[in-house]
Amino acid sequence: MAELTQIPKTEELKNEYEIVEEIKNLLGSDLLEYKVPRVNRVWITVPNGKHYKVAEHLYKKLGVWFISTVTGLDLKDHFEVLFHLLDMQRKVEITIKVPVSKDKPELESLTDFYPGANLYEREVYDMFGIVFKGHPNLKRLLLAETFPKGEHPLRKDWTPDKWDPKKVQLIQRKPILPEETSDYVLQVGPQTPTLKEPMNFEVIVDGEIVVDVIPHIEYNHRGLEKAFEQRTFIQGIYMAERVCGICSQAHTLPYCDAVEQLLGVQVPPRGKYIRTMVTEFNRIHSHLLWIGVACHLIGWDTMFMYSWRDREVILDLTDLVCGSRVTAAINTIGGVRRDITDEQIHKIRKGMDILEKRTKTYKKIVLEEDTLLKRAVGVGYLNPSYLKAMSAVGPVIRGSGVKTDVRYDDPHFGAYDEIPFNVCTSDMCDIAGRLVVRVDELIESINIVRYILDHLPSGEVRVKVPRKVPPGEAVSHNEAPRGEVFYYIKSNGTDKPERVKVITPTMANLLPIIESCKGHYIADFVLNFGSIDPCIACMCRTTFTDISKSKPKQWIWTDEQMRQYGIEWYQNRGWRR
């Protein structure tokens, strides 16, 4: 086992060493290794079995309540499981490494303290076959039903089987009965399930009240994490961009940041500012898209058209700066690919003026228009302490008044440590709260873009970097429009990464939102689910089971029928468009 690494203490790393000292006092000689590679990062290696004690201490004594994700690693002779925790008070990202033997791949689950780790641990189980003892529902998460049993694709010795797309069988799910619900599984993919995304929910209802929701989201699993390992670091940027087409820029920023940490290069200030600006463009376009979709879901298509029309302004600006409407492709390792000119700056300012005017109108609409308020106020209530326990992220948790934002909690990516901005929150805890937060964030993003244009440093926009990346590992994250996007990258000294782990915000928000659907009417289900910013795809039907009848009855609706049902249900009760 490795010896203790000695790093000289400095004043800036006070918080980091405070945590290391705590763990040292707790474990003594059981602490195998620790390192503090830079500000805001602590890596701890502990033997299998001790991680439970460490997590208990961190959770109970130090108040670390947020788990970013759980990563699995195949190191040929043994596995490693990494728990990534974020300490919001001290602004430190803590990674607990646990070596696990290949003969007996078992370790204790941390769901006792972090129920939000539920899906993350299941993903590791699915991809590596590592068993988490004490996990409430350890089942496959995102591989297809037809995937061979007992195979785990992210193991290094796994070879893909040949499957014929023309012959894959459709496996019909068994009809669900309430007694059997524990046999059914929540499934979430590694990508953000958003607009028109393939997703399936099994909603168990009692009359008109939703009792339980079982989503199936393995439809969109493309095997991206394996694909990262087969591509070079530069190609990886474009893979990262296509994890999700809507928050594409939000993915490349942490990816490039993590690789830059491994290379030990600093992005020139101008490059950092341009990156940050395009990330904010991304947020503006995503939030406008969401406002439109939310209004479409309640049947208010006029507003849908308005917000999508205004969204074209920001897409044009992205096109102007980056050369493409949706996937910006402006980030590269070491900086950005293009500089911006004075003429472009002028056009961006003009665009921001238009958007600010429109956003203020939207804010007025959100706060005053009955069409929206009657569907949104008091619906989908989420308790802040429950959200904290589940490690929810983004506008969902901020809509319940918890002030967390990766840009604020760990600002050392992009230029967020130099830019003043507010973290928008709302105390309403319902769909209206999430709406208000998103509209406020639009205004905040416009102000950030303006600040960047006013304070744009001069000089280079990128530095040249070598193709080969020295061995090491790094984590980085970013506040995507929907919440935290997290990247873990391990390099082995070649031009290809050893492992890239991606986690997206919907994974964290899915379990809380299911909780908020329970006890509400079916009519509210679509908007409620929409409020975390995914959308039920057209193809993807919702199966309903009515348990109030003596013989359970099942029927299937498309998204469109469901939306229509919601609109009519409210119209019959006096709600008018």
Q: Summarize the chain as % helix, strand, coil (round to 5).
A: 40, 20, 40
354 binds another protein (CB under 8 A): no
249 binds another protein (CB under 8 A): no
308 binds another protein (CB under 8 A): yes
Question: From CA 75, how far away is CA 78, in angstroms rounded?
Answer: 5
537 binds another protein (CB under 8 A): yes
Cα torsion angle, 185, 294, 391, 433, sign: negative
Contacts of 141 (CB under 8 A, 6+ apart): 119, 122, 123, 125, 126, 185, 187, 188, 218
For another protein, the closer CB: 238 or 555 = 238
Query: Which of 134, 163, 571, 577 lies at the binding interface for another protein (CB under 8 A)?
Result: 163
Contacts of 577 (CB under 8 A, 6+ apart): 299, 300, 371
165 binds another protein (CB under 8 A): yes
**Min. distance of Cβ 18 from another protein in angstroms?**
41
Query: Which of 26, 224, 373, 456 lies at the binding interface for another protein (CB under 8 A)?
Result: 224
For another protein, the closer CB: 224 or 320 = 224
Q: If you ran DSSP here, which 8-state letter would residue 6 be given? A: P
**Min. distance of Cβ 235 from another protein in angstroms?**
9
**Min. distance of Cβ 516 from another protein in angstroms?**
24
Question: From CA 67, how far away is CA 63, in angstroms rounded?
Answer: 12
Which span sits near another protein by CB under 8 A: 112-120, 145-153, 273-281, 409-417?
145-153
- How close are the terminal C-alpha atoms of the chain, in Å? 68
223 binds another protein (CB under 8 A): yes
169 binds another protein (CB under 8 A): yes
CA distances from 48 to 82, 93, 106, 544 (A): 11, 21, 9, 43
Q: Single out the residue of 186, 200, 279 nearest to residue 508, CA to CA.
A: 186
Which span sits near another protein by CB under 8 A: 14-22, 57-65, 86-94, 188-196?
188-196
**Min. distance of Cβ 327 from another protein in angstroms?**
6
Neighbour count for residue 556 (Cβ, 10 Å): 9
Query: Which of 354, 367, 377, 538 lies at the binding interface for another protein (CB under 8 A)?
Result: 538
For another protein, the closer CB: 2 or 170 = 170
Which span sits near another protein by CB under 8 A: 236-244, 391-399, 440-448, 477-485?
236-244
Q: Single out the residue of 234, 271, 270, 269 nearest to residue 255, CA to CA.
A: 234
56 binds another protein (CB under 8 A): no
Question: From CA 47, how far away is CA 54, in angstroms rounded?
Answer: 11
**Min. distance of Cβ 225 from another protein in angstroms?**
10
Question: From CA 36, how far away is CA 49, in angstroms rounded?
Answer: 23
561 binds another protein (CB under 8 A): yes
Which span sits near another protein by CB under 8 A: 79-87, 195-203, 330-338, 522-530?
195-203
Are the C-beta atoms of 295 and 372 separated by less than 8 Å? yes
Query: Which of 23, 94, 243, 431 lies at the binding interface for another protein (CB under 8 A)?
Result: 243
**Min. distance of Cβ 70 from another protein in angstroms?**
21
Q: If you ran DSSP here, which 8-state letter would residue 28 be given? A: G
552 binds another protein (CB under 8 A): no
For another protein, the closer CB: 230 or 266 = 230
Question: From CA 532, how far away is CA 530, in angstroms rounded?
Answer: 5
For another protein, the closer CB: 163 or 555 = 163
For another protein, the closer CB: 149 or 166 = 166
**Min. distance of Cβ 44 from another protein in angstroms?**
33
Which span sits near another protein by CB under 8 A: 70-78, 186-194, 465-473, 478-486?
186-194
312 binds another protein (CB under 8 A): yes
Question: From CA 353, how far away is CA 490, in angstroms rounded?
Answer: 43
**Min. distance of Cβ 152 from another protein in angstroms?**
12
Are the C-beta atoms of 92 and 477 separated by less than 8 Å? no
Query: Which of 115, 153, 401, 457 lies at the binding interface for another protein (CB under 8 A)?
Result: 153
Q: If you ran DSSP here, which 8-state letter would residue 370 be given? A: H
Q: Which two tokens stand for residue 107?
A: 């370790």
Q: In this structure, which amino acid lies at residue 533?
A: D
List of E strands, 224-292: none
Number of residues that bind another protein (CB under 8 A): 55
Query: Which of 559, 566, 567, 570 lies at the binding interface for another protein (CB under 8 A)?
Result: 559
Question: From CA 15, how far away is CA 41, in angstroms rounded?
Answer: 10
DSSP 133-181: ET-TT----SS-TTSPTT--TTSTT--PPP--TTTPPPPPPPPP-GGGG
461 binds another protein (CB under 8 A): no
For another protein, the closer CB: 506 or 545 = 506
Neighbour count for residue 207 (Cβ, 10 Å): 11
Question: From CA 197, how far away is CA 219, in angstroms rounded?
Answer: 9
Are the C-beta atoms of 251 and 243 separated by less than 8 Å? yes
317 binds another protein (CB under 8 A): no
196 binds another protein (CB under 8 A): yes
384 binds another protein (CB under 8 A): no
Are the C-beta atoms of 324 and 404 separated by less than 8 Å? no
CA 444 to chain centre: 21
303 binds another protein (CB under 8 A): no
Query: Which of 123, 126, 218, 484 lies at the binding interface for another protein (CB under 8 A)?
Result: 218
Q: Single out the residue of 94, 66, 65, 92 nearest to residue 82, CA to CA.
A: 94
**Min. distance of Cβ 234 from another protein in angstroms?**
13
244 binds another protein (CB under 8 A): yes
377 binds another protein (CB under 8 A): no
31 binds another protein (CB under 8 A): no
Query: Residues interacting with another protein, by CB under 8 A?
Result: 143-147, 153, 160, 163, 165-166, 168-170, 191-192, 194-198, 218-224, 226-227, 230, 238-239, 242-246, 248, 289, 305, 308-309, 311-312, 315, 325-327, 537-539, 558-561
